Structure 1
Amino acid sequence: MMTIIIPAQAHEELWQGVDQTRQSNDPDDELDITCKCPQALGEGYSRRVELRQNLVLEIESYQRHDNLIIQGIDRPHPLEFWFMLSGQWMESSLWAVNQTEAGQYGFFGSGTAIKGEDEFSQGRQLLVGVHLEPELLQSFIGNSSGELPKALQHLMREPEQPYHFRSNVMTPMMQYNVQRILHCPYQGIIKRTYLEGKVLELLALLLEQEAEIQMGSRTQKPLKSGTLERIVYARDLLLQQMDNPPSIAELARLVKLNEYALKRGFLQVFGKPLFAYLHDYRLEQARQLLETGEMKVSEVAQKIGFASRNYFAAAFRKKFGINPKEYLMQHKHSF
């Protein structure tokens, strides 16, 4: 096994030299491009999907025959995160040593990448990465002046400051969304909408965890292999039968988990207990049904599984700050 050491500019030129092998991964999307890996670096491909201005999704799948060290230079660094499904990466500079390995994510803030070396290990490498410019993050979560919440301000540093980096274990929901990206069943505009939704959900999960870490919250242990799929299946069953949902005992039996594992796992994956999640989902469905103006309040309550119209009205008012009848009339007048 050899180690290839190459300057960053030469590495970039190698990739520019394979431009003629570029092909559209989706004939209906000219911004979805796949490049074949330069032969000198191994086998595989790099896929780049420009989802919108300042938001790019990348999927890199390589079989590296040798270790690769890229000698970098000081350069501006955008906000970036990637999920390493296989392989290993390490960055070393005078400022810090950062690394990620299979099963982990790397979260990079904006700032400057200090001159150093990026090392990728020999063997299989599969990662899903996202690049976004600071102004896009500001538009998502900043206030009217573009200022981020205090717990997240470290993600955007001045151009002359070294960027923030954190590596951590992927949570079950991160793993789930990464797999949905890799196995996206759509093409064209539907594909782009689907992928952007998954990317933004991943960003939300990362920001939530980053804020918790900054505020000193403890992270939970990852779920055992195979449990995530059962938890997601339980959620799907719950929503499919929201007008007459199964009991926790019945749901646990259907997904082949004990009740404790189901309740604990559901809270970990979705951030809420099962029936609190169902309650919020029902009310959101009710809001959407009322917006159509095609159903009475009593019909909406019955459709989403509320036996009592009064209880439904109280729950709706508590969540949205308005009675369902008033909400319905507002939207009827807008047609």
Structure 2
Amino acid sequence: MNTVLHPQELIRQIGPELGPQLRLIDSESSQANLFRGKLRWLHLRSGLALHCSDCHELSTFSTQLQIEPRLNFVVFLDGYSDVRYDDRAVRFGAEHRHGEGIAVSLAEPVLFSRQARRGSHIRKLVISLAPQWLEAGGLDGQNQCAAIDRFSRQHLAMLRWQPSARLRTLAEQILNPPGYNPLLENLYLESRSLEIASEALAMISQQGRQPLQGLRPHEHQRIRRVLELLDSGQADHWNTETIAREAGININSLQRQFQASQGMTLFEYQRVRKLKQAREALERDGISVTEAAWRAGYGSAANFATAFKRQFGLTPRQVRSKL
């Protein structure tokens, strides 16, 4: 059933766990209607959640929400969204007629922001797998799970793919389920969500099995120039497109060559480099943890501490206490 959602109804729909944490920013009116259509947030079982949307955006506004570690599988059928993970801007959307699938690894807590635009029509769903769900499913870094394990441990790793016809059918079924009673509908949605998650995990696994091509001499030289640019700090506030343009190469080729050379994405290299610089400042200069978080590009000291411990095995305070 189509409904009209205003801010308080949106918070109620999201539920008691996340609703009160949702922040509404830049709304045309705090009492304005936000959406018309169908929006759902469902916890299908422990560690498995579903969000689906088939709605028109009635106002221009932004939302912010703190998200805990998880794997997200996003399927866009129509429309697009501009989102941010902390300071990283990304556009998700169906720019071609077959839609778009995106796998996103959130290995650390992150501040998620989304920009809504009046007049847009969005048809999408998001399936979330929490770390405990993956562990219970046997994700142990062995054999065919190795690529999935690596992907899930790399913060803000992303993989885009074109959904299969079967996946698009499953997404349509989730957006328009039959009129079952609540128990049967939950099972119906869970089974289709798991099928979509299965296709997404298979894509990640296949990507991990594809051997990286060796670089040619001129490609090695290009990556060395990119590394010099990154290490100089000049590109700290540049997006990937700007870096690629400076290197004289398209984004996809830059990402492929950088991964082949460094064993990580360009974004991950920047993140680790800034964490190392923050650690040096903590150890050498005794700066505060808040200052170190700011230097590393984190708006939250708690998120910085989580990323720092994941990288170095010590908390920022433990490093600073050794002075």
TM-score (normalised: structure 2): 0.48
The higher-RCO structure (CA 8 Å, 6+ apart) is 2
Answer with 1 or 2: which has the greater Rg: 1
TM-score (normalised: structure 1): 0.47
